[in-house]
Amino acid sequence: MNHQEYKDNELLAIKNIEERYEIEENFLKILSSGDYSKAMIAYKALCSMKLDGRSMDYYRDAKYLAIVLGTLCRKTLQYRNKIHPYYLDSISKEMAIAICNTETITDINIVTRKFIKKYCLLAKNHSLHQYTEVVNRSISYIEMHYADKLSLSILASYLHVSKNYLSAVFKKQLGKTVTEFIHEIRMDKAIFLLNSTKLSIDDISAICGYSDSNYFCRIFKNRYKLSPGQYRNNLLQK
């Protein structure tokens, strides 16, 4: 190989690296938006890139790259979307275990697609980047302490701000009151428990932060137009 050929190969390698990093960045940007369909298109483009300098063990390489991709997804949503580490860690652990349990490259692709979807849903449902710091901290506190006694006063005290200020800024940025948001988080948890467990309504009420199960049922029915019992019965009939 002469000097010119060496330079040409080096420039080509640099161009390929730049293109790969650009495609990778595009994938992470779309992931951050929560658009699963577009994220999968970007992921396919990422998979089409030829990676040099890897071993000839294609399964091991695919496994390694899936783990790296999962880490990139986690860190992207942590810093771009300000998603609480609690949610990220849960999905990250689940993905790592699923990858370790694969046996073929096809298995790895299935697992990766599954978790790209989970990360997209996380980006849609738990992103805090559009809110101010006080609202971010409010949301995170409520999500982590939904089972505890919660109120505007308790939250304002925790954040060292006035109730009036917190109430105003929360309503302005989320379009709902602190109390409405607390009920929303608790109801989401109640729906999950009704779908995935055989716990009694009283137990679910307590787990979701309601000491009075009758009050819990009223809030639930107001939101879903069904009582928790009716909701569960409908699930059993499907």
Per residue in 87-126, pLDDT tens?
899 899 999 999 999 999 999 999 999 999 999 999 988 8
Structurally, the chain folds into a number of domains equal to 2
Specify whether 109 is located in the same domain as 186. Answer: no
Specify whether 78 is located in the same domain as 139. Answer: no
pTM over 0.75: no
Specify whether 122 is located in the same domain as 140. Answer: no
Give the separation between CA 143 and CA 174, rounded to whole angstroms. 15
Could you list the pLDDT tens digit for every one of the 238 residues in the chain? 555 555 546 565 677 778 888 999 999 999 999 999 999 999 999 888 766 555 678 898 899 989 999 999 999 999 999 898 888 998 999 999 999 999 999 999 999 999 999 999 999 888 888 899 999 999 999 999 999 999 999 999 999 999 999 999 999 999 999 999 999 999 999 999 999 999 999 999 999 999 999 999 999 999 999 999 999 988 877 6
Q: Name residue 221's amino acid.
A: K
Convert 192-224 to b/e letters by CB count within 10 Å (16 or more is b): ebbeeeeeebeebbbbbbbeebeebbebbeeee
Specify whether 140 is located in the same domain as 94. Answer: no
CB 19 within 8 A of CB 49: yes
Specify whether 96 is located in the same domain as 167. Answer: no
Specify whether 203 is located in the same domain as 153. Answer: yes
Q: Which ranges in the chain belong to alpha helices (H)?
A: 3-33, 36-47, 58-79, 85-100, 105-126, 133-144, 152-159, 163-174, 178-196, 201-207, 213-224, 228-237
Phi, then psi, of 77 in degrees rounded to 5: -70, -30
Last residue of a domain, one of 94, 126, 158: 126
**Three-state DSSP class for residue 208:** coil
Specify whether 172 is located in the same domain as 107. Answer: no
Q: What residue numbers bound the domain in which 165 lies?
A: 133-237
Task: Write down the pLDDT at residue 125.
Answer: 85
Specify whether 100 is located in the same domain as 195. Answer: no
Task: Write down the pLDDT at residue 13.
Answer: 62
Burial of 113 (0-12, 13-18, 19+ CB in 10 A): middle
Specify whether 8 is located in the same domain as 95. Answer: yes
Q: Taking the CA of residue 212 as centre, how many other CA atoms within 13 Å lie in the half-sphere pointing to its CB?
A: 4
Specify whether 155 is located in the same domain as 82. Answer: no
